[in-house]
């Protein structure tokens, strides 16, 4: 795929009026892109268009012609509309028809796995990039793990532990979680022995030694997130495990937990991601600190889009992950205004 100029490039944002979508629209505007607002709710799009001055093009995922109109003339599309089990495939299809890169912010494990499985060959044949899970969950852990390995591509184990001060889920997070639980038939997913597997037991609670100032915290072991799709998609690591602090896990799973702040409002949530990779007795560690997992997804997705459009990627087409597509250290350094990252060396 030939490099393009970023200046005034048009990027369609599907699900633009959602919580994360609005952050992405604002980040695109800040970076000099011209967002096109899209999604199925014409009234919400019209309101956002009146607020921002950007064009709106309503489209539903079951209307290919409308999706084609939404992507017409765009240099790329960023899909922010969950549940991605419903939206990813139709929007990827539209991106392939338009011949443009596709980026999404999906945290749904099965939806991301489906994208890799269903579109790898077609996206490669089309000579374009399909980049799922370019978000707090999926991309950030992958970038940290890749940077920590510093050019190596194998490890025995990857452990990605999340310390969130709280997790007040958006409506989209709740809907996506319900879809994922239905797909799993009440089970839970893990990545072990080199593949996704399903279990019906309860995960253990252990103590994870987060760096100060967080310190040791109780976490739910095997609280599995999208990193189990992105990391092993390009790194040879047979055991990938993710952990979540018990307080945050209770927040996101409880039907009575408070909702996220109003759209465009940053929350006071803080996070620390601690990534530990082991090969025999050798360990590599990387950490990232920041605020608001939904807000920080926007610079991740927009930085990825900018790099794809300007050719600042490793040679790759097809379905890929952030760690494979980008120089992980350089990418993380570019987000220094949003993340405090500590890498080996």
User: Are 167 and 248 spatial neighbours (Cβ–Cβ below 8 Å)?
Assistant: yes
Q: State pLDDT tens for residues 242-300.
A: 999 999 999 998 888 777 766 666 789 999 999 999 999 999 999 999 999 999 999 99
Model pLDDT, residue 255: 84
Please state which CATH number belongs to domain 137-292.
3.30.360.10
Its pTM stands at 0.96
| pLDDT computed for residue 6 by the predictor | 53
The per-residue pLDDT for range 299-333, each reduced to its tens digit, is 999 999 999 999 999 998 899 999 999 999 999 99
pLDDT of residue 165: 96
CA 85, 248, 323, 31 dihedral sign is: positive
pLDDT value at residue 185 = 85
Task: Name the segment(s) of the chain with CATH classification 3.30.360.10.
Answer: 137-292
All CATH 3.40.50.720 domain ranges in the chain, comma separated = 10-134+297-331
Asked if omega into 213 is within 30° of 0 (cis), the reply is: yes
What residues in the chain have per-residue pLDDT under 70? 1-8, 261-265
Beta bridge partners of 10: 34
> Given this model, what pLDDT does residue 1 score?
42
Residue 112, C-beta contacts closer than 8 angstroms, at least 6 positions apart:
84, 106, 132, 133, 138, 226, 229, 230
Q: What topology does CATH give the domain 10-134+297-331?
A: Rossmann fold (3.40.50)
């Amino acid at each position: 795929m030939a490099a393009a100029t970023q200046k005034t490039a048009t990027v369609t944002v599907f699900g633009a009026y959602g919580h994360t979508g609005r952050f992405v629209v604002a980040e695109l505007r800040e970076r000099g892109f011209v967002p096109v607002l899209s999604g199925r709710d014409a009234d919400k799009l019209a309101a956002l268009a009146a607020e921002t001055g950007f064009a709106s093009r309503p489209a539903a995922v079951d209307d290919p012609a409308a999706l084609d109109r939404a992507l017409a003339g765009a240099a790329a599309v960023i899909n922010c509309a969950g549940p991605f089990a419903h939206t990813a495939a139709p929007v990827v299809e539209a991106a392939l028809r338009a011949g443009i890169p596709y980026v999404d912010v999906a945290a749904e494990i099965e939806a991301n796995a489906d994208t890799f499985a269903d579109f790898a060959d077609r996206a490669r044949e089309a000579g374009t990039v399909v980049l799922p899970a370019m978000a707090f969950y999926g991309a950030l852990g992958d970038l940290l793990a890749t940077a920590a390995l510093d050019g190596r591509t194998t490890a025995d184990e990857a452990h990605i532990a999340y310390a969130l001060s709280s997790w007040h889920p958006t409506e989209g997070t709740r809907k996506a979680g319900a879809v994922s639980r239905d797909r799993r038939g009440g089970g839970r997913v893990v990545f072990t022995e080199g593949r996704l597997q399903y279990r019906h037991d309860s995960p253990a609670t252990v103590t994870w030694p987060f760096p100060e100032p967080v310190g040791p915290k109780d976490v739910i072991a095997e609280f599995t997130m999208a990193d189990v799709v992105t990391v092993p998609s390009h790194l040879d690591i047979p055991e990938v495990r993710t952990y979540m602090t018990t307080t945050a896990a209770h927040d996101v799973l409880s039907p009575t937990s408070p909702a996220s702040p109003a759209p465009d409002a940053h929350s006071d949530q803080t996070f620390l991601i601690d990534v530990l990779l082991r090969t025999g007795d050798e360990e590599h560690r990387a950490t990232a600190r920041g605020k608001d997992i939904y807000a920080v997804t926007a610079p991740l997705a927009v930085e990825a889009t900018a790099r794809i459009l300007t050719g600042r990627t490793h040679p790759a087409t097809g379905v890929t992950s952030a760690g494979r597509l980008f120089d992980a250290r350089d990418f993380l350094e570019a987000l220094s205004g949003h993340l405090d990252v500590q890498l080996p060396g």
